[in-house]
Amino acid sequence: MKKQLLTLLVGASMLSPLAASAADYVIDREGAHASITFKVSHLGYSYVVGRFNDFSGDFSYDAAKPTAAKVNVKVNTLSVDSNHAERDKHIRSADFLNTANFAEATFVSTSVEDKGNGDLVINGDLTLNGVTKPLAIKAHAVGEGKDPWGGYRAGFTGTTSFAMKDYGIKMDLGPASANVELDLVVEGIRK
């Protein structure tokens, strides 16, 4: 019996290094190595740009099997910052983000497509202003490796856009201003 158990344990230990497993990461927002920025056309003449200063999240990723990746992000919508206090107050109002009722937006991945050369499409559900809809993010794996502090990091960029009306945003600034473009930079520290 002992010999069979020993054979089983040795066999299992030999297989485990061959099995690829995703590493879990926490998004490095403390070191300001991650950002969520947005851009909206202002009446078709220029752009209003801004960011969310407070967000958190985590992801699982294995470069050998990117389709198994998972992403989970929470954004404090009260932290919107367009570098203009009165405009930010309006963006937080019921006309836009309705932060009095929905102070958090979330993105939870549902699948990941590998497009090759580090390019990915991250499909998921975006919940914003109390509305949940599917959203696809075009992403790129920038790189991964050891950092100078003894940790291990992985980084990505991403872009996506969505129509404000799809998320129940009431304000209508005309067709040129109907969509929000998001630019994402995500650096994660392996847990």
Dihedral angle computed from the Cα positions of residues 90, 96, 97 and 98, in that order, rounded to the nearest 10 degrees? 80
Evaluate whether 40 touches 34 at the Cβ level (below 8 Å): no
- Please report, for the chain, the start and end positions of each structural domain, with discontinuous segments joined by +: 21-190
Q: Quick one: which of 40, 6, 62 has its CA closest to 183?
A: 40
Averaged confidence pLDDT in the chain: 90
Greatest mean pLDDT among 5-9, 30-34, 63-67 lies in 63-67
- pLDDT of amino acid 22: 83
Residue 137 bridge partners (DSSP): 122
pLDDT digits (tens, 9 = 90+) for 94-123: 999 999 999 999 999 999 999 999 999 999
Judged by average pLDDT, the poorest of 18-22, 62-66, 74-78 is 18-22
Predicted pLDDT of residue 152: 97
Superfamily of domain 21-190: Lipid/polyisoprenoid-binding, YceI-like (2.40.128.110)
Which H helix or E strand runs over 49?
A: strand 46-52
Q: Which pLDDT score, from 0 to 100, does residue 21 have?
A: 65
Tell me the DSSP string of 122-187.
Answer: EEEEEEETTEEEEEEEEEEEEEEEE-TTS-EEEEEEEEEEEEGGGGT------GGGSEEEEEEEEE
Q: Say what the pLDDT of residue 16 is.
A: 36
Q: What angle do CA 171, 123, 68 make, to 5 degrees?
A: 155
Please state, as a whole number, how many other Cβ atoms lie within 10 Å of the Cβ of residue 191: 11
Is a pLDDT exceeding 50 seen at residue 15?
no
Q: Flag whether pLDDT at 166 surpasses 50.
A: yes
Higher pLDDT, residue 74 or 17: 74
Q: pLDDT at position 126, please?
A: 98
- Residue 149's contacts (CB-CB under 8 Å, 6 or more residues apart) are none
- The pTM (predicted TM-score) of the whole model is 0.87
